[in-house]
């Protein structure tokens, strides 16, 4: 990470000194950076002259004293509070009073690091994402003592380096590592409850949710030791808040040494010759003749268009409560956080089949469904066949409340609302951070507005009723938007 940050700064025209406590490591890093500049020149991304000049701005140094003329020092060492505090104390004695000190920490409190300094107002977080030369996002993090001019200077610097900075208050996980927790947590819970296998849940998140990687693929790539440690850190820092509760399933992987790609095994096997399992997909079924699409919701319009494009006959009718489609004997609804069985009971509609959320029902290639326990098997087949006729691969999950994409998006949005409510960042920052930092297809707040804040609030309420856990409590800010929207209707 340190080498990546140095590459960014040197490419932007700065003289950069690299210091590492391992003999020869800084010089080795410079060799690697220069090789990267040469590759960029070979691809036409830099002129040969610019690549050479950027490499010449890099200098390996061996002692802290050689950093005395620095205007900005960025620390990217081990994630250990005491070690960071000691380094910054030593730096304070070396650099000038106007030098800004920055930590690339992803999880340690900037306030806590600064508590050991004589001048904590000059310390801020400057959190790059890996690989630093490629990832656009930088979190600029203010501790309790950080001067606003220091944060402003770092925001301007990151922008000048071609990055997209967002400003955050120093709270556990900052923006990205906090708001992203539900992406892993909800998938782990659904897996643990037997909702579906990893490959099916990953496929639904990619093909319906629009995420670049499924949660289990992503955890395997990150490494379970790292991912589990971050979850534990955030959970403990929030005084064991159940929203961030670590998973026993993931702990078992860590205890077993199944850390993901780097160990050759995680949720998936990465041994030579290993075949990745395929998602569970319903076999092709004969579609029913009687199909009615209700209302003008985004899902209804998208499904009607898909059916029409494929030459499937159907009729359209005015909205009928939350009924989306009737296909033969089946009634299809989009999940609202209840199980299909409870929904069938509440609505006195035994042949209920629930659809999962899709980022875009017009473009999605797969949908997850759940079937009520009361549902006749023929009606379930009618529902699945209808979706197949609309061009979806269909994965039937066990009757898990909220399915997978809907409950995940609801929790991501809820956490984003809570981060804004607690003054960690503003709404624009949280959406920018999640799109650029972890490649989400849509910012969680923008997604909430697209789906409907009322809808997601209802999903959370039903999840909370099902599980009886504070984990699914609705953010006060989300509640405010729900009630204010109702007041203005």
Please confirm, yes or no, whether 139 is among the known catalytic residues.
yes
> Residues with Cβ < 8 Å from 117, sequence gap 6 or more?
85, 88, 89, 92, 101, 123
**Residue 139 host element (H or E):** strand 137-142
Say which of 177, 339, 457, 475 is annotated catalytic. 177
Number of H-type helices and E-type strands within the chain? 20, 14
Q: Report the distance separating Cα 24 and Cα 263, nearest Å.
A: 28
Indicate the length of the chain as a whole number.
Answer: 489
Please confirm, yes or no, whether 106 is among the known catalytic residues.
yes
At CB < 8 A and 24+ separation, what contacts does 46-55 make?
46/11, 54/10, 54/11, 55/10, 55/30
| Bridge partners, 323 (sequence order) | 320
| Bridge partners, 59 (sequence order) | 17
Please confirm, yes or no, whether 233 is among the known catalytic residues.
no
Start-to-end CA distance of the chain, whole Å, equals: 50
Say which of 75, 103, 104, 127 is annotated catalytic. 127
Q: Report the distance separating Cα 206 and Cα 214, nearest Å.
A: 6
Q: Report the distance separating Cα 233 and Cα 253, nearest Å.
A: 18
Cα distances from 470 to residues 232, 242, 249, 405, in angstroms, run 18, 7, 21, 20
Cα distances from 86 to residues 77, 94, 276, 456, in angstroms, run 12, 13, 46, 45
Determine the 3-state secondary structure of 162 from DSSP: coil
Say which of 92, 103, 104, 106 is annotated catalytic. 106
Please confirm, yes or no, whether 97 is among the known catalytic residues.
no
Q: Report the distance separating Cα 1 and Cα 3, nearest Å.
A: 5
> Side-chain half-sphere of 250: how many Cα atoms within 13 Å?
27
> Residues with Cβ < 8 Å from 341, sequence gap 6 or more?
372, 373, 374, 399
Q: Report the distance separating Cα 423 and Cα 413, nearest Å.
A: 16
Q: Report the distance separating Cα 336 and Cα 403, nearest Å.
A: 9
Radius of gyration of the chain (CA): 26
| Other residues' Cβ atoms within 10 Å of the Cβ of residue 385 | 21
**Residue 58 host element (H or E):** strand 58-61
Cα distances from 214 to residues 95, 289, 357, 404, in angstroms, run 45, 35, 15, 11
Compute CA 421 distance to the chain's CA centroid, rounded to the nearest angstrom.
Answer: 19
Say which of 139, 207, 217, 415 is annotated catalytic. 139
Token readout for 417 is 């609302």
Positions marked catalytic: 106, 127, 139, 177
């Amino acid at each position: 990470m340190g080498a990546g940050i140095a590459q960014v700064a040197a490419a932007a025209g700065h003289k950069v000194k690299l210091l590492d406590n391992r003999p020869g490591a800084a010089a080795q890093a410079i060799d690697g950076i220069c090789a990267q500049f040469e590759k960029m020149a070979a691809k036409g991304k830099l002129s040969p002259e610019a690549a050479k000049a950027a490499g010449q701005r890099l200098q390996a140094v061996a002692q802290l004293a050689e950093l005395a003329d620095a205007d900005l020092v960025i620390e990217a060492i081990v994630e250990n509070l005491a070690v960071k505090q000691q380094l910054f104390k030593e730096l304070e004695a070396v650099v000038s009073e106007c030098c800004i000190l920055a930590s690339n920490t992803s999880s340690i409190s900037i306030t806590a690091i600064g508590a050991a300094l004589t001048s904590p107002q000059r310390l801020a977080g400057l959190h790059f994402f890996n690989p630093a030369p490629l990832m656009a996002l930088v979190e600029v993090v203010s501790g309790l003592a950080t001067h606003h001019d220091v944060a402003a200077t770092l925001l301007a610097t990151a922008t000048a380096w071609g990055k997209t900075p967002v400003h955050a208050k120093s709270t556990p996980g900052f923006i990205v590592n906090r708001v992203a927790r539900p992406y892993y947590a909800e998938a782990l819970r659904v897996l643990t409850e037997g909702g579906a296998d990893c490959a099916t849940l990953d496929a639904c998140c990619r093909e319906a949710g629009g995420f670049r990687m499924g949660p289990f693929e992503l955890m395997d790539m990150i490494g379970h030791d790292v991912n589990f440690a971050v979850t534990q850190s955030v959970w403990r820092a929030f005084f064991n808040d159940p929203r961030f509760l670590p998973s026993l399933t993931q702990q078992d992987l860590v205890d077993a040494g199944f850390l993901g790609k780097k160990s050759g095994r995680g949720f998936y096997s990465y041994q030579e010759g290993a075949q990745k399992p395929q998602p569970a997909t319903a076999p092709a079924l004969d579609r029913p003749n009687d199909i009615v699409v209700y209302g003008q919701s985004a899902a209804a319009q998208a499904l009607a268009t898909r059916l029409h494009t494929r030459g499937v006959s159907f009729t359209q009718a005015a909205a009928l409560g939350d009924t989306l489609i009737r296909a033969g004997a089946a009634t299809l609804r989009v999940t609202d956080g209840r199980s299909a069985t409870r929904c069938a009971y509440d609505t006195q509609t035994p042949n209920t089949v629930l659809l999962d959320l899709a980022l875009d029902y017009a473009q999605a290639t797969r949908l997850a469904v759940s079937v009520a326990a009361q549902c006749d098997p023929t009606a379930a087949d009618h529902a699945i066949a209808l979706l197949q006729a609309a061009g979806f691969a269909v994965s039937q999950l066990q009757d898990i409340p909220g399915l997978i994409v809907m409950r995940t998006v609801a929790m991501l949005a809820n956490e984003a609302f809570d981060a804004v409510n607690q003054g960690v960042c503003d709404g624009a920052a949280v959406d920018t951070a999640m799109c650029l930092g972890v490649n989400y297809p849509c910012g969680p707040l923008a997604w909430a507005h697209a789906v409907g804040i009322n809808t997601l609030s209802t999903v959370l309420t039903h999840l909370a009723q099902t599980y009886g856990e504070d984990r699914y409590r609705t953010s006060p800010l989300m509640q405010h938007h729900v009630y204010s929207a109702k007041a203005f209707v």
